[in-house]
Homo-oligomer: A and B are copies of this chain.
Amino acid sequence: MSLSFFELSAGRWFSQRTSHHLAFKQQEGGKSNLTIEVLAKDHPEVVKLCQHYEVDPTQALCGARVSWDGTMEWDEEKHAGSTVLVPVADSLQALEGQLLREMGYAEKAPVAGRYLINQEELILITEYETMYSKERLWFESPNVRLRHSILKRFGGFSMASFCSEIRMGVTQPKANTPEAADATNSG
């Protein structure tokens, strides 16, 4: 299930992100090109990450390499980077488990989070020392992926973010997804 979510996510995406800073009542936008590549569980980077967390690599469902290249409004700097994610289910049938990652979203140290699948949504929870983040990802169609996340610091909600992502390079509407191609092409 989690494997299929990664498979559906594979490809190149144009991502718009907005962060609402709740305490400051300000919002910041950003744009990014995103590339998601599925890695086999015996891929050297997957094995390496599993070893780092002392997890048996055969327990990994798969891996994903996520690369991004974009800008945020408040600084004009380029934000580019990549990370490897590896979901490890709690058991063979479980819809939840550990999510190993090379680099945390909010802090740049390796950190393991939890993932769970709930009604077609992938939910990622990461707890840092003073921070908690929950992210929900879902597909509106095979070519439109949405993400929402909320961040708590020191027990208080500090930021809510929202990403809309449209698949790049879709020129022909697929049989069941005219809408996504429409979003990509009519701009």
Contacts and interface: CB of A to CB of B under 8 A. Distances in A.
Number of copies: 2
A162 to B, nearest CB: 4
Given A146-B148, A157-B144, A160-B146, A25 B187 contact: yes
Nearest to A156: B182
Contact of A183 (B27, B146, B157, B183): B157
Contacts of A18: 18, 20, 27, 29, 162
Interface in A73-112: none
A130 interface: no
B23 A164 contact: no
B29 A183 contact: no
A31 interface: yes
Contacts of A184: 23
- Chain A interface extent, by class: 35 or more
Given A27-B16, A119-B119, A178 B162 contact: no
B140 A156 contact: no
Given A29-B18, A162-B18, A23 B182 contact: yes
Contact of A22 (B24, B157, B162, B164): B164
Interface of A: 14, 16, 18, 20-25, 27, 29, 31, 118-119, 140-141, 144, 146, 148, 150, 152, 154-158, 160, 162, 164, 166, 178-187
Given A22-B183, A156-B183, A157-B179, 4 more contacts: A14-B25, A152-B179, A156-B180, A157-B183
